[in-house]
Chain A
Amino acid sequence: MNGFHPKLCRLLLLAAALTTQVSAQQWKAPTTMKKLANGLVVVVSEDHSAPTFGLCVSYGIGFRLEPEGRTGFAHLFEHMMFEGTPNAPKGVLMRAIEGGGGNLNGDTRYDYTEYIETAPVSALDPVLWIEADRMKTLDFSTKNLENQRNVVEEEVRVNVLNRPYGLFFAIDLPGKAFDTYPNAHNFYGEFKDLDSAKIADVQKFYEQYYAPNNAVLAIVGDVQPADIFAKVEKYFSAIPVREIPPRPNVEEPPQKSERRATESDKLAKVPALAVGYRMPPRHSPDALAAAVTGELLHNGQASRLYQALVKEKQVALSVDGGLNWPLGTPYEYNGPTLMTSFIVYPANVSEDQLLTAYDSTIAELVGKGPSQQDLDRIVAKMRSDWYDQLEVPINRASALSHAVLFDGTFDAVYQIPDELAKVTPAEIQAFAAKYLVSSNRTIMDRVPAQTGAAPEKKQGAGQ
C-alpha cells in the first residue's frame, strides 16, 4: 500500500481466483526452492519471454498480529521500509530501482507484508542488495516516522474518509463479524493509534518480525536458478537468524446468530449492502468448495448474484465479492476470513427487498446445488483468472512467496488447479447448506445520510 502509482495501489485490487479446470493438462513453470542457513527461503521460477524479472519478499507479519493500541501499525511500518537505512539513506532505494528501469511497491495484508519490484534483468544485483540491506536494519528516524505518519493519514483520507462507502465492506464488516482483536480491528488504523506510534515501536516490530527466518524471497523472470542462489547467498547469508514470537491463537469463538448493523454515509449517493459469512480454515476439507462457491456467486456477469439481483429482479446496481475478498485471492489467507458480498443498490429498493432476493439466490444454491455445467464454467473461468495471476513475473513471485510463507512449499500454486477440478456439485451444495446460513453471517447496510440533518458517519471506518 505504499502506492505511488494508483494502478499499483493494490489494496482494492479485486481478488483473482486460483484454480483449474477439469481435464486439460496443467501449465507449470520451472520452479525451484532453497533455504539459506539463516532461514531465508528463496524461490526461483524461470520465464525467459522478456529480459525482465519480478521479485517479491514476503514477511510473515500482517494486520492480524499488530499490537493492540497500535491499529494500522503493520501498514505504517511497511511505509518505513521505504525510508532508508544507515547504508542507503532515504531516497536511494527509489533512485536505484527506477534508475535501473524498474518500479516498486509494497502491500500489507492480514497475514503477510510484501515488498515487490520489477525491472530489466540488468537491475537484478542492485535490487537484491537493497532488499538485503533493509533486511539488516533500518534508519530508525523520528523525522521519517513523522513524515510517513502524515502520508499514511492522507492515504486513509483518500481511501476511506473522503470516499463514498469508505471501504466499510473491508473494514467495518469484519469488525462486526469477528469478536477478537486480531481479526476485528481496523487495519488501516485509528488516527489516535497512528498518532501515538513511536520510533521505539518501529524498532521493536522490526526486530520481532523482519528476520530472514520469517521471510520468503521469490524471483521470477529471465534468470537462472543457480545464478540466483549464488547471488542471494552473497547478499543475504550474513543476516543473522532472529527469534520470532510464537504465533498466537487467532481463532474466533463461534458465531451464534446473525448480526446486523446500519451505517450512515455522508458521501454516498445510493445505498450499499455488505454481507459477510464466516469461512472454514484454509486447510479444511471445505476450503476449496468455499473458493468455488464464492466465484460462482460473484465472478462477473455470468455469476448467480449478478444474474439474479442486477438482471432478473433488478434490485441491485452492482455485485462484487468472494472468499477473502477484497484483500486477497481465495487461497491467500492464514486465519479467519469471510466470504463477502458488496452490493450497491438503487435508492428506491429497500434493504428488505434486496435481502429477500439475495436469500432466494442462496436458497436455490442450497436447495439444488450447481449443475455440472455451471461448475465446469466457473472452474474454467477460475483457471483462466489464475493464469492471469501467474502471467506477469511480479505477480507470480508474489503468489509463490505467499504459498511458501504459509505452507513451506510452493506446490499449491501449481496443484490447487488439480484439486479444484475434483470439486463436485454435491460438495458445493453441502458447503452452501453448512456455511451460507443466517446464523453464520453479518449484514451491514450503508445508507446515504439525509441531506440537511446529516448524521455523522459511523467512525469505525478509520477515524
Chain B
Amino acid sequence: MNKMMLVLAVLFFVSLSFAQKEVPMPKDLPPYGTEKPLRAPSVKTAKLDNGLAVWLVSEPGFPKVAFTVAVRGGFAADPADRPGISELLSKTIDQGTKARTAKQIAQELQASGGDLSAGSDKDFIEVSTAVLASRLDAGIAVLSDVVQNASFPDAEVALAKRNLADSLRQRESEPSFLAARAMAKVLFGDHPYHVTSPSQECVAAANATDLRRIFMQRFRPDQAILVAVGDFDDAKMMEVVKAKFAAWKAPDESALPGLKRPSNAPEHAVYVVTRPGSVQTTLELGTFGPLRGDPDYEAAMVANAIYGGTFSSRLTGNIREDKGYTYSPYSRLRVYQVAGVLVTHADVRNEVTAPTLNEINYELNRLATTAPSDEELSKAKHYLVGRDAIQLQARAALSNQLAGLWVDGLPPEEIGIHGQKIANASVSEVQTAAKRYFPAFQTAIVAVGEEKVVREAMAPFGIPVKTLQ
C-alpha cells in the first residue's frame, strides 16, 4: 500500500508543476499533505462444512454490527415465465418462517436496533441488517432464521403481489425507471440480463409455491456468503455463526448454471419511451464496458472519471456548469458477473434535448480521440483511490461491498489491489480504454419523454429513431 501512495504522490506533484489549459490553481492554495496509506480492512475468511463462506471484519470501538447474506442467482436466474420474480422473493422473504410471523420478525429486529433489507440484482439476492452490537445475538438469530427457513405464507404472498403490482404501476411513471428498463432491453435483448424488474404478468402469475421452490434452489449454503462487520470478537462471532448456520443443508440438485457474456453490440439508434406530460427528456446513452477482472477495467474507470464520473468531469463541466442544461448528469461504469455497462445519464428540459445529445456525443468522442491532460489523469486517480478509502468508513457499506466481491468471485484483498491498479494506470492505457469503450457511435440512446419532442430533437442526428413499447 505504501508503494501505491508513493506513486500517487509523485503523480500529483508532477501535475502541479505542469499547469494545464484549465484555469491555473490559485498560487496560495496550500499543497496536499503527505498521503497516508489506505488501511484495507482485515478480513478473516472461513468456510463452514456445508460450504457457507464466512467473511468477518472485527472493528471494535463503535457499537454496531452490519450483516449481509448474499446468494448467487438474481434476476438473470429467474425462470423465463417468471421474469423478475426475484424481486417478489426479496419482498416476501421476511414475511414469515416456521418459527416467526412477519410481525415478530420486524419487532425482534427493531428491538435489536435493525431493519431487514432484502434486494435483488442481476446476479444475486442480498439480505442485510445492521444492529446494536450489544444485541447482535438477537439480530443474527432473526437473520439466520429468515435466510434458512422463509416460509412464504400464502396470505402474505397474496398481499405482497397486490402491493407490488401497484408499486410497479407507480414506478412506471418515473422516468429514470423507464430509462433503465429500456436500456437493459436494448443492450441485452434476449440475454437474461435484460430483466430489471418483474413484469405485471409475472406478478399476476407468481404464487407462494414458485417462491418456495426458487428459495430452495438459491438459498443454499454452498452458494451463499455471510459477511459481518463491526464491534465483535472474531472467535466469538465464529462460534455464533456456526451455532446458527451449521445445520443449513444444501439440496441435492446442482447449483444454477453460469451465464454467457453477451456478445451483441447494440445498434446505434435512438429508442424512444413515450411519456406524455414530461417536462424533461431523460437521456441515457449505453454501451458495453469491461468486466471487473478484465485487464483494462481500472483504466476504463479512470477514463470514466475524467469523462463523467465526477463533479469536476468534462460532462458535468460542459452540460451543467457551462450550458446549464441539466442538474445532475453522470456516467457510470457498472459491472455484473458477465457484462460491464457504461451508461451516461442526463435529465434535461425538453427544448435542449438535441443540444444535450450533441454535447454528450462530443465529450464521448473527445475522450476516445484525444489524450487527457496530466491534471485530469491525476485528479481521476486520486478521486477513485480516495473514494475507496471513504467507502470503508461505513460498516454496512463495507459489508455489502465485500459480499459483492464474493459474488463476482473475487477475494477481499481486491479492495487494495484495485487501488494499486488505479494508481498504476498509464495515460496510454487510459487512452486505449477510452478508444475502445467510449466512441459515441457504439452507444444505444434511450430517450424518455414526449414522443414529438424527442423525434424532432433527434432528426438532425440522422440515426434510426424507434419507439419502444
A interface, CB within 8 angstroms of B: 3-6, 9, 21, 24, 27, 49-52, 87-92, 94-96, 98-104, 118-126, 129-130, 133, 146-155, 157-158, 161-164, 222, 266-270, 299-302, 307, 310-311, 314, 317-318, 344, 346-347, 376-378, 380-381, 383-385, 387-388, 391-393, 454
Contacts and interface: CB of A to CB of B under 8 A. Distances in A.
A126 B132 contact: no
Given A27-B62, A151-B327, A344-B170, A300 B110 contact: yes
A311 B279 contact: no
Contacts of A90: 23, 321
B442 to A, nearest CB: 25
Contacts, number: 266
B280 A157 contact: yes
A95 B389 contact: no
A5 B330 contact: yes
Contacts of A164: 170, 173-174
A156 B450 CA distance: 18
A168 B189 CA distance: 38
B25 A92 contact: yes
Nearest to A152: B327
Nearest to B61: A49
A91 B130 contact: no
B26 A393 contact: no
A154 B64 contact: no
A392 to B, nearest CB: 5
User: How many of chain B's residues touch chain A, expressed as a range?
Assistant: 35 or more
Identify the interface centre among A87, A164, A302: most chain B CB within 10 Å of its CB: A302
Given A52-B393, A158-B328, 19 more contacts: A50-B389, A52-B386, A87-B26, A88-B26, A89-B23, A92-B23, A99-B382, A100-B386, A103-B386, A103-B390, A104-B311, A122-B36, A133-B26, A157-B279, A301-B94, A317-B166, A344-B170, A381-B114, A381-B115
Contacts of B395: 391
- Closest CB pairs A-B (n = 3): A101-B386, A384-B113, A150-B324
Contact of B59 (A24, A49, A98): A49
15 contacts: A24-B63, A87-B26, A92-B26, A95-B25, A96-B25, A98-B310, A102-B386, A121-B36, A126-B29, A126-B32, A152-B327, A155-B328, A266-B277, A269-B166, A301-B116
B22 A4 contact: no
A52 B64 contact: no
Interface in B375-403: 375, 378-379, 382-383, 385-387, 389-390, 392-396
B328 A380 contact: no
Contact of B62 (A100, A153, A158, A391): A391
A155 B110 CA distance: 36
Contacts of A380: 110-113, 132, 135
Given A164-B173, A391-B393, A154 B326 contact: yes
B261 interface: no
B438 interface: no
A385 B130 CA distance: 9
B361 interface: no
B386 A119 contact: yes
Contact of B327 (A50, A155, A268): A155
B88 to A, nearest CB: 15
Contacts of B348: 154
B240 interface: no
Contacts of B310: 4, 94, 98, 103
A377 B378 CA distance: 49
A17 to B, nearest CB: 11
B466 interface: no
Interface stretch (B99-107, B248-256, B455-463): B99-107
A226 to B, nearest CB: 16
Given A27-B62, A95-B379, A301-B102, A6 B311 contact: no
B418 interface: no
Given A49-B61, A300-B115, A392-B394, A147 B279 contact: no
A120 B389 contact: yes
Contacts of A147: 321-324
A99 B279 contact: no
Contacts of A392: 393-394
Contacts of A270: 166, 169-170
B113 A383 contact: yes
Interface stretch (B291-299, B312-320, B335-343): B312-320
A99 B375 contact: yes
Nearest to B386: A101
B3 to A, nearest CB: 16
A138 B330 CA distance: 27
Nearest to A234: B30
B23 A91 contact: yes
B345 to A, nearest CB: 9
Interface string B62-84: 11100000000000000000000
Interface in B121-177: 130-132, 134-135, 159, 162-163, 166-167, 169-170, 172-175
Contacts of B167: 317-318
B312 A98 contact: yes
Given A151-B326, A300-B106, A87 B28 contact: yes
A162 B62 contact: no
Interface in B171-186: 172-175
Nearest to B159: A314
Contacts of B32: 100, 122-123, 125-126
Contact of B163 (A98, A157, A163, A310): A310
Contacts of B62: 27, 49, 387, 391
B328 A146 contact: no
A318 B160 CA distance: 11
A393 B394 CA distance: 9
A267 B277 contact: yes
B37 interface: yes
Interface in B15-73: 15, 22-23, 25-26, 28-39, 59, 61-64
B278 interface: yes
B114 A384 contact: yes
Contact of A120 (B61, B321, B326, B386): B386
B203 interface: no
A384 B383 contact: no
